[in-house]
Amino acid sequence: MEKKVRKYKTQSFRCKEIQIPLTRKELKNLFNYRIPCLCCGYEMLHPDIYMHLMERKELGGKASDVIKILEPFENIMHPVERQVFNMFKTMSVKYPDKNLKELLEMKKDIHELALVKIQSSIFNKVSFYRRILPKKMARQLRKLMIKTNDIIFDPEPHKPFSRRIFIHKLKNIIKNLENRKIKEEIIEIARRLPRSSDEVCAFVVKNTRKRPEVIALNLIHPSIGTFEHLQPKSLNGMNNSLNFALECAYCNNSRHHYPISVQIEENPYMPENAQKQTDKLINLSKKEICKKAYIENLKNVLFILSSQQIDLDITKLYEM
């Protein structure tokens, strides 16, 4: 059975008369065992640890003090956050009394120029397709690019540029384009736009507007372990472990309500990372920390909702 979600298609699934394999508490406990994210494969942080860090008022203080608090979590930071953290460590030696916001402000101009340079190059490549698009689409694309350029070249825009919204608008413009190859080319180019998760300059520009304690927490926030609804709640997805997967906060928030197939488009290594997590869960199952039923259900649900793109190998689950 197929259902539509804002032009995307997904499949529903039913789990009748199946006992809930893990309680929320049991599922949350798995974050104590260095679980890799289902989507990106990075190790996740137990959410309770993050909650304790949120109570640390020192995060808004001197950078030198903040560095000491965050150093134990450096190994689980995502790559860009780790680069920024190392930048803070270097700067805090020279400017120990400044907070993280003040340090970022010292770097903002140079990183903003670098970000605009990358964005402009990509926008020019997207704009090139106006020459071969139907006239109506070409006009719509021209309007979008004018508005977008007004935002990125304005030092203080009314609303900051949003990569996700730009790609969504671009997809709407070319949704009826008959030439599928050209359509895919345009979207692929747009997906190269930098995110704060994959470009230091984007992280710096985005976070300079935030309070110092928020900047500190944002260095580890992407790594927080969360329960991802495989079938979105907006499509009546169940609110229990039959429908939960373990994902980092970044991947969970990035997906929004979109189908898993779209998530795979943005993260082509997701099937491999899902297997990586499953292998870890199988090891925990042999230690009676994770139940077999949860892993078996995860395999079935992912297979259905990913349109068979994720086909987990759980044969080791049955090996003695």
Choose the final residue of a domain: 223, 255, 289. 223
pLDDT bin (cut points 50, 70, 90) of residue 257 is confident
- 58 shares its domain with 204: yes
Mean pLDDT, residues 81-109: 96
- Boundary (domain end) residue, out of 189, 223, 257: 223
Structural domain boundaries, residue 96 = 47-223
Q: Please provide the average confidence, as pLDDT, over all residues in the chain.
A: 91
Pair (190, 278) in one structural domain: no
Number of compact structural domains in the chain:
2
Q: What is the mean pLDDT of residues 241-247?
A: 96
Tokens standing for 58? 């020192």
Give yes or no for residue 276 having a pLDDT over 80. yes
- Kindly write down the DSSP assignment for every residue of 112-147, as one continuous string: HHHHHHHHHHHHHHHHHGGGTS-HHHHHHHHHHHHH
Residues 179 and 286 placed together within one structural domain of the fold = no
Q: Does the pLDDT at position 3 exceed 50?
A: no
Other CB atoms closer than 10 Å to residue 95's CB: what's the count? 15
Could you tell me if 51 and 109 lie in one domain? yes
The whole-angstrom separation of Cα 290 and Cα 170 is 43
| 66 and 35 inside one domain | no
Give CA torsion, residues 42, 47, 52, 56, to 10 deg.
Answer: 50
- Picking from 263, 271, 274, 250, the residue whose alpha carbon sits closest to that of residue 198 is 250
Residues 211 and 234 placed together within one structural domain of the fold:
no
Burial of 69 (0-12, 13-18, 19+ CB in 10 A): middle
Residue whose C-alpha is closest to residue 274's, from 253, 254, 303, 249:
303
**What are the pLDDT digits (tens) for 103-141?**
999 999 999 999 999 999 999 999 999 999 999 999 999
Same domain? 250 vs 202? no
Residue 243 DSSP label: S
Are the C-beta atoms of residues 174 and 183 closer than 8 Å to each other?
yes
Asked if 196 and 60 sit in the same domain, the reply is yes
Q: How many CB atoms lie within 10 A of CB 295?
A: 20
Are 134 and 283 within one domain? no
* Residue 62: Cβ within 10 Å count: 18
CB 155 within 8 Å of CB 218: no
Same domain, 187 and 254: no
| Judgement on whether residues 54 and 38 belong to the same structural domain of the protein | no
Q: Which of 181, 203, 223 is the last residue of a domain?
A: 223
| CB within 8 Å of 224: residues ≥ 6 apart | 44, 45, 47, 50, 248, 249
Q: Is the domain of 237 the same as that of 268?
A: yes
pLDDT at 266: 83
- Residue 228 has φ and ψ, to the nearest 5°, of -90, 130
| pTM for the predicted model, two decimal places | 0.80
